Amino acid sequence: MTVCRALLVAFLLVSLSERANAQSLVADLSEDLIAITTGFTGSDVLLFGATDGTGEIVVVVRGPSSRIVMRKKDRVAGIWVNTNAVAFQNVPSFYHLASSAPVEEVLPNEVRAREQIGLAYLTIEAAQQVDSDEEDAFASALIRNKQAEQLYYGAVGEVELVGGRLFRTRVNFPANVSTGPYVVETYQVIDGEIASKTVTTLQIRKIGFEAGVFDFAHSNPALYGLIAILVALVAGWLAGYIFRKT
């Protein structure tokens, strides 16, 4: 299986490197769909590609964006209570950065800020009017919490350059990833400038039983509730019946 996959990757890399002669940068993923099934515990995806042999490679992976409410606790009458909340818009559910060399040496700050490369340059906008100190405190808390959930990768992952022209990096998606479309941006950087960029996409979807249960619970909540009750009644009756016999 792994040998097979290695051969496949090698083959793809060779064909990619040929295409790379025409284009300066090509990249692809080992999978374009991650299926969340019953046994899902997270998944590794391999990003690989080829360049014309110059520059460094920087990879940014972003999950689908959504609105997130950050809450802050304060001590009220001796107990910790959520007192303040700030909502943020267009927050990526997942963020991963990898680079073939220390990213701060490869790219100047202005470019990283423009392209939002690195958590420090990830702009997260409040959905409401709040003063800027407070917004910063809540925004950095959001990033900190996302890192704790392993959904934002705090460090910079390594992009391996193979023989100068080929590159690869591994992206880990933990079990708590959101579903939806993921965007992988690969940059080729030459002398502190982005020489070329390619975008690849990846879908994360619930598949099979898990998807069925989730969709049913949301699309038909009344029937789902009744079935949940029925299942419990039958299970309870069955349990009582089995243990009466023994």
Partner 1 sequence: MNIYLPIAEMSVDVFLLLAMGGGVGFLSGLFGVGGGFLMTPLLIFIGVPAAVAVGTEANQIIAASVSGVLAHMRRKNVDFKMGAILVAGGFIGSGIGVWVFTALRQIGQVDLLIAVCYVVFLGSVGALMLIESVRAILRRQAGIPRRGKLHQHNWLHGLPFKMRFRRSRLYISALLPLGVGFIVGVLAAIMGVGGGFIMVPAMIYLLGMPTSVVVGTSLFQIIFVTSNVTFLQAYNNQTVDIVLALLLLAGAVVGAQLGTMAGSRLRGEQMRGLLALLVLGVGAKLGWELVAQPDDVFSIGEEIVGG
The residue ranges that bind partner 1 (CB under 8 A) are 36-42, 66-74, 78-82, 85, 137-138, 141-142, 144-146, 148-149, 175-176, 206, 209-211, 213-214, 217-218, 221-222, 224-229, 231-233, 235-237, 239-244
Nearer to partner 1, 11 or 209 (CB): 209
CA atoms within 13 A on the CB side of 51: 25
- Residue 20, judged by CB atoms within 10 A of its CB (0-12, 13-18, 19+), counts as buried
Tell me the closest approach of the beta carbon of residue 125 to partner 1, in angstroms. Answer: 16
Nearer to partner 1, 155 or 227 (CB): 227
Tell me the closest approach of the beta carbon of residue 94 to partner 1, in angstroms. Answer: 14
Nearer to partner 1, 38 or 132 (CB): 38
Tell me the closest approach of the beta carbon of residue 240 to partner 1, in angstroms. Answer: 3
Tell me the closest approach of the beta carbon of residue 203 to partner 1, in angstroms. Answer: 17
Nearer to partner 1, 47 or 204 (CB): 204
Alpha-carbon span 225 to 165, nearest angstrom = 57
Nearer to partner 1, 23 or 220 (CB): 220
Nearer to partner 1, 14 or 227 (CB): 227
Nearer to partner 1, 120 or 233 (CB): 233
Please name which of 21, 51, 56 lies closest in space to residue 165, comparing C-alpha atoms: 51
Q: Is 55 left (phi over 0), alpha (psi -120 to 50) or beta?
A: left
Tell me the closest approach of the beta carbon of residue 126 to partner 1, in angstroms. Answer: 14
Tell me the closest approach of the beta carbon of residue 61 to partner 1, in angstroms. Answer: 20
Tell me the closest approach of the beta carbon of residue 222 to partner 1, in angstroms. Answer: 5
Per-residue tokens: 31 = 């999978």
